[in-house]
Structure formats: structure tokens, C-alpha cells
Amino acid sequence: MKQQSNLARLLSYAGKHKILTYLSWIFSAASALIALMPFWYIWRILKEVLEVAPDFENAVHVTHYGWMAMLYAVLSMLVYIVGLMCSHLSAFRIATNVRITLIHHISTLPLGKIDQFGTGKLRRIISETSGSAETYLAHQLPDKAKAFATIVGLLALLLVFDWRLGLLSLIPVVLGFATMTRMTGKGMQQKMTEYQNALSDMSGEAVEYVRGIPVVKTFGQTVFSFKKFRATIDNYEKWAVAYTKELRLPMMLYTLAINSVFVFLIAAGICFTGNGVEEKFLLNLLFYIILTPVISLTLSKMMRQSENEMIVGDALQRIDTVLSMEPLAESRRRKQPKDFSVELKDVTFSYDGNTNALQNVSLKIGAGETVAFVGPSGGGKTTLASLVARFFDTQGGSVTVGGADVKDIGNKELMDTVSFVFQNSRLIKASILDNVRMGRKDATREEAMQALKAAQCMDIIEKFPERENTVIGREGVYLSGGEQQRIAIARAMLKNAPVIILDEATAFADPDNEAKVQAAFTELAKGRTVIMIAHRLSTVAGADNIFVLKDGMLAESGKFETLIKAGGLFGKMWQDYQESVQWKVAKEA
């Protein structure tokens, strides 16, 4: 099957606006040909001046020719503006459709895959990458049509007036074009991909660095503490320096070639006027000296357009990396959960296909139970909970909710069944009320307010003049980590999902907020199946069952007291935890 060109792919998003893209090329090409008309009138001015010299008062048509040159220059500009209007209307529509397609596809992807891909990279693909396609369509393509039309028109002018001077003028053009091909060939396409990769990596790590600034400030660290971010900056620096050095010689030769046309014209003038200066030859020579700078300008534009074509090609490849990611498969045999129990049978899962993050994990959670996943870091707690919410699909075994495999439950129904409160819950720049309503869009104001009250959020609302209508993120309106967490809990309450997963949800709460968050959790847990992922072992003492995970396997399980008495892994963890909370800063004597 023949692969579509980059342009064909972009135009597939244009819909009925495609005709505007074609019109923009026609108008741009027409403007280029019209723009050459002033040069013809300049030639006529020179011709008349040379013919009447030294009686210049007889040059009666000079004013008319001047006005005509200006008229065509203005007309060229107006036609070009019309072409740009057409290209921009089409480009805006195409860029919008690309972004809509990307966002719609992302919405079908498992949340785990999105996290693995990286929010920084996704943001760059959605905004900057689609934006580069917009710039290409709005400006570069019309300019390309204009450049080609200019070349055709220039060739005609160069060869019509004096074919000898015309051919000499084309020598630097050929040399410049050959050098330009060296800089914009397939090798440079690979370099452009490497360049975009370096930028993408640096952008992604920058996002993670910004998110970690509170930790940096707390512990007095610098940017160099973030080794990955520093490594991406160093990698970009090395690449940019190497790339610049590689293009240094070709760029020098290109610049020399396209600006050397005067050398050939002067040489021609010396050679062809050895036996005296002909009036016609002098006229043509003066005209070519005025005209040939357009060649350099046009070639430079074409080189930039070639570079932008490589950028667009790379942008489409990055868009494809997102669109090629498989969405969650919808099973044809839809099943309904009988209740809200959760069971995992011999679950095995790997992120990279090589090392298992989970291996043969089996456990049961009864409907309405509150259980906890605990264990050393990297043991698989969050991964296990993510499989229940189907952020990923297992490679082995099964995950069921109410006796139905999560793969057989409709995606929307599963999202309505399972609610996830993250460790660092995100709120959007909208009112507190609208943030809560994201849990259930059709909820009434009274229902949303009831959820806020149950989540212990009234003190947050009361400190702002606009109360629940206060826009989060607006100048002067900021919430602490614990306050954001309570808003997120209110959102989960409004959603009213029967299965709740809490991923270390008190991690960013101060003591006062933690007490309120715990009270909100108590309210949220009523009548629901709750899975807690906890590092603070004091928060799991009241759990109906505790599952201890280590190295991707279920090490032990049972009630709090039973595990303490058993003296196993959990007992050791509890002992270490007790010692850590008793640590005090020694005062200097």
C-alpha cells in the first residue's frame, strides 16, 4: 500500500476547507508573478533614461512607469494577503482537527499508558507539534508556491533580455541549490528527528523538575540534583554543537554561492565590453544587477521551507506514536458486576515485557470491605491497584469486579464503578464547584455542595468571598496539597462509585489537613469497597484485611493484630515505623 505524503495526511484533516489550501497556492503563485512586473517597469525606466541621456527632461514616461511599478507591487501584496487568509483558515481547521483527534484518542487510552508516555511529551505533541503543522500550512506552503512561481518568472526574465547574462546568473543558483540539497537531504531528516527527540526529552524532564520544585526548595538542592534533567540539557548541548559544526562548511559554501552572482555579472561586463559598451548591453547589465538579489532571497526561502518540511515530517511521526497506541479493547460479551467484590487470580504483569512487576498474585476483597496494600517501595502496590481500575491489562491471570472480568465490563461502566483518588490529585483551573462536578456532570448544585460538606471542605469555601464559585488557580487563589485532596475526595463522593482506590492520599497533607482528610475518607468509605495504598502504617490499623506485597508477590495477608503477632514482614515494617515516629531532633546542650 502506497504511503501517504505528509501533505496528503495533513489535508485529510481539512474537510471542506481543503479547497482553501489549493486557493492559497494559486493566489500566492499569482502574487509572485505580479511582483515581477515592477522589475519590468524598472527596465523600461532605465531604457528611457539611457535613450534620452543627457537630455533627461525628455524622459516623459518615467513617472507613469514608476506609478505602474508601485501599483503592481501593491496588487501583489493584496493578492498575497488573500492567499494567506485562505491558508490560515484551512490551517487553523486542520490544526484543530489534529488536536481533537489526538485528545479523543488519548481519552480512549489506559491511564497507565498515558503516565508511561509522559505528560510533558504529550503536551508538546498536542500543542507544539500540531502547531508546527499549522505554521507549515499557513505560511510555508503558500511561500513555497510563491518561491516556485518566482523561480519560473525569474528564469523567463533572465533568459529573455540577455541569454548570456541569464546563464551566467544561473551558475551561482545551481551551486547554491546543490549545496542546499546537501543540507536538506535524508541525512538531515535523521538529524531533525534527533533534534526533536532531544527537545522532547528536555521538555518532559523539565515538567518533572517543575513538579519537584517544592522538594528542591525544602532540601536546598539545585537543578543538578535532578540528574535526568541535567543529562537531557547536556545531551541537547552536545547535539546542537555537533550539528552546528557539521553544517558550518555547507552553510558557508551556500552563502558564498548565492551571493556571488555579482562576481559573474561583473566578469561578464568586463569580457563583453572589451570593444566598447553597447547601450543595450549596459541596460541589461544594470537590470540584471537589480534583479539578481531576488534569486538569493528566493533560494534562502526555499532552504527554510525544506527545513520546515522536515519538521512537519517529524511532527507527524510523533503524532503517529500517540495514534498508534492501542486503546482499551471493548469486549463483545459485556458482563455486569453482581456485587462490588474484587478478586485477582494468578495475576502477572510487566511494564516492559521483560521484568515482572507482579507475579502470580491472588487475593479476594469482599464487597464493602476496606483493605490495604502495604509493603516496601517497588513492591507492586500501585501497579496492583491500577489493574483493578484497568489502567493496564494483565499479561497473565484475571482481575474481576463482582465476578465479571474487568475486560468484559464496558469502559464507561468500569469508570463509573471504580473511582481513584491519587496521591497528588489534580484540579483544573475552574471553580471549586465545577471541579467537584467533574465527578458527575449532571449533578445538581445541592448534590455537589453536599459532597463538599461530607468531604470536610466547608472551611476551604468559607475563606473565599466567592465561596464555591471561586476559580482555582486564579491570581491569589491557591490551595494546599491537603485542601486539593479534600476537593478531590468530594469529587469522588459525588461520583458515588462503589469501589474506591486511595493511593497514599494523605501524602501531601499537614497534620490539621490530614485529620480532615481522614474524616473525609471515613465518610467516603461508608457502604463501599475501599482499597488503600499506604506508606503510613498507622492509617491501616482499622482495615478489614492487609495485603503485604514485596518484589511483585503477595508476601502475607491478614488483619492488623494478626500480622503484628506473626512477626513477619509487616511486623518488621511496623517496628521500623514505630521507631521512626519517635525520632526527635537532639537539642544542643
- The residue ranking higher by pLDDT, 265 or 215, is 265
**Residue 495 falls inside a structural domain:** yes
* List of E strands, 157-265: none
The most confident of the ranges 58-72, 144-158, 476-490 is 58-72
The stretch 300-318 carries a mean pLDDT of: 70
**Which sign, positive or negative, has the C-alpha torsion 268, 272, 274, 280?**
negative
Instruction: Examine the domain organization and report whether 67 and 170 are in the same domain.
Output: yes
Instruction: Examine the domain organization and report whether 430 and 479 are in the same domain.
Output: yes
Instruction: Examine the domain organization and report whether 319 and 417 are in the same domain.
Output: no
CATH code, 204: 1.20.1560.10
**Main-chain dihedrals φ then ψ at residue 449, nearest 5 degrees:** -65, -35
Contact between 323 and 372 under an 8 Å Cβ cutoff? The reply is no
Instruction: Examine the domain organization and report whether 398 and 271 are in the same domain.
Output: no
**Residue 332 falls inside a structural domain:** no
- The residue ranking higher by pLDDT, 98 or 227, is 98
- The last residue of one of the domains, among 323, 355, 386, is 323
Q: Is 441 exposed, middle or buried (0-12, 13-18, 19+ CB in 10 A)?
A: exposed
**Confidence band of 219 (pLDDT split at 50, 70, 90):** very low
Residues 6+ apart with CB under 8 A from 565: 571
Q: Report the C-alpha gap between 157 and 39 in whole angstroms.
A: 9
Instruction: Examine the domain organization and report whether 225 and 354 are in the same domain.
Output: no
Contact between 300 and 258 under an 8 Å Cβ cutoff? The reply is yes
Q: Rounded to whole angstroms, what are the CA distances from 258 to 63, 158, 222, 262, 299?
A: 33, 16, 48, 10, 8
Residues 190-208: tens digit of each pLDDT: 666 677 677 767 766 666 6
User: Which residue's entry shows cell 478478586?
Assistant: 343
Q: Report the C-alpha gap between 427 and 454 in whole angstroms.
A: 19
CATH code, 574: 3.40.50.300
pLDDT of residue 218: 47
DSSP single-letter state for residue 109: S
pTM: 0.60
pLDDT of residue 573: 80
- Which domain does 475 fall in, by range? 342-581
- The residue ranking higher by pLDDT, 84 or 210, is 84
**Residue 410 falls inside a structural domain:** yes
Residues 318-357: tens digit of each pLDDT: 777 777 777 777 767 777 778 888 888 888 888 776 788 8
Instruction: Examine the domain organization and report whether 265 and 367 are in the same domain.
Output: no
For 33-64, b where at least 16 C-beta lie within 10 A, e where not — what string? Answer: bbbbbbbbbbbbbbbbeeeeeeeeeebeebee
Instruction: Examine the domain organization and report whether 318 and 347 are in the same domain.
Output: no
pLDDT of residue 188: 62
pLDDT of residue 204: 66
Instruction: Examine the domain organization and report whether 149 and 40 are in the same domain.
Output: yes
The stretch 528-539 carries a mean pLDDT of: 79
pLDDT of residue 507: 52
Which grid coordinates are listed for 266? Answer: 561583473
Instruction: Examine the domain organization and report whether 297 and 444 are in the same domain.
Output: no
Closest residue by Cα to residue 197 from 134, 133, 243? 243
**Residue 224 falls inside a structural domain:** yes
Instruction: Examine the domain organization and report whether 319 and 346 are in the same domain.
Output: no
**Residue 589 falls inside a structural domain:** no
250: preceding bond cis by omega (within 30 degrees):
no
Q: Report the C-alpha gap between 32 and 501 in whole angstroms.
A: 64
**Residue 1 falls inside a structural domain:** no
Residues 6+ apart with CB under 8 A from 345: 362, 397, 398, 400
Report percent pLDDT > 90 for the chain: 4
pLDDT of residue 82: 93
Residues 358-389: tens digit of each pLDDT: 888 888 888 888 888 888 877 888 888 888 88
pLDDT at 117 over 70: no
**Residue 330 falls inside a structural domain:** no
**Confidence band of 302 (pLDDT split at 50, 70, 90):** low
Q: Is 213 exposed, middle or buried (0-12, 13-18, 19+ CB in 10 A)?
A: exposed
**Confidence band of 583 (pLDDT split at 50, 70, 90):** low
Domains held by the chain: number: 2
**Residue 135 falls inside a structural domain:** yes
